[in-house]
Chain A
């Protein structure tokens, strides 16, 4: 299936984290590559969403929607730095 990017899951991330996350910076726990969530490789296939590193293809995040519960696995990330400044309207 075709890969999208982190822009495509902005809504999902907003639901999970409560803030805008596509501009957040993630660090791959495997290779150390650093970049915005928007540039991560995303495979969307209900009920699961898999996010991979653009540099080494390691799994960074997994979101699975099971009976109204979103299960979030972030083990592939060493860090995730969200912008804490309030979003402009």
Chain B
């Protein structure tokens, strides 16, 4: 896992939740392109957090090869649906599976940066504590933000939090009651997103207020 910060001349600014496409071109002209969510809030330098996939075409280069001062081809900012600004309000329910936490971290940073006081809860599913991204930052959430970790594969000794995949029961425990008219953002692998989004609608969440973003095992996000 590696976070890369870019200096981008002429960057028009971005919104929390947007992504960039990173394009690599080999010497023979072969091109590979992957989408990565922007991990930083608007106003901060653009950063992406890359999970290394051993058989990936793009991520090993980004995690192992790229050095400070290298130039990369980027396209963005991209996306106008899976985005949040303070004017969108809340309360916010953010549900992340693995590296799906990246755009949700940008939303939490934007909430803080904009001085928003909407209540926010992050339910974050990881395999183990070691797999938690932005752990230090999430251990000290801003006022009005609650972070709930569930560790699906291994748990440290004395772990008292949830220790299973996100299911209907866990959602019912953590999600804001429907009466608060919550706004949900769900990001993770496709199967995770289907389970969570379906579960929230079962709870009575308004489907148009459950925004989803799916990524596959082919890398990105």
Contacts and interface: CB of A to CB of B under 8 A. Distances in A.
Interface of A: 1-8, 10-11, 14, 20-23, 36-39, 44, 83, 87-89
Contact of A89 (B12, B33, B193): B12
B35 interface: yes
21 contacts: A2-B189, A2-B217, A3-B190, A4-B190, A4-B214, A4-B215, A4-B216, A5-B193, A5-B214, A7-B82, A7-B213, A10-B19, A11-B21, A11-B33, A11-B78, A20-B79, A22-B79, A38-B213, A39-B81, A44-B218, A88-B15
B13 interface: yes
Given A11-B35, A88-B15, A89-B13, A5 B213 contact: yes
Interface of B: 12-15, 19, 21, 33, 35, 75-76, 78-82, 85, 189-190, 193, 211-218, 220
Contacts of A2: 189-190, 216-218
A7 B79 contact: yes
B28 to A, nearest CB: 15
Nearest to A22: B81
Contact of B78 (A3, A14, A83): A14
A6 B81 CA distance: 10
A16 to B, nearest CB: 13
A23 B17 CA distance: 13
A15 to B, nearest CB: 8
Contacts of A20: 78-80
Contacts of A37: 81
B190 A36 contact: no
B216 A23 contact: no
Contacts of A1: 216
A64 to B, nearest CB: 16
Contacts of A22: 78-82
B75 A11 contact: yes
Nearest to A9: B35
Contacts of A87: 80
B212 A5 contact: yes
B46 to A, nearest CB: 13
Contacts of B13: 89
B12 A23 contact: no
A52 to B, nearest CB: 13
Contacts of B19: 7, 10
Given A4-B190, A14-B78, 11 more contacts: A2-B216, A7-B79, A7-B81, A11-B21, A11-B33, A11-B75, A22-B79, A22-B81, A37-B81, A38-B82, A83-B80
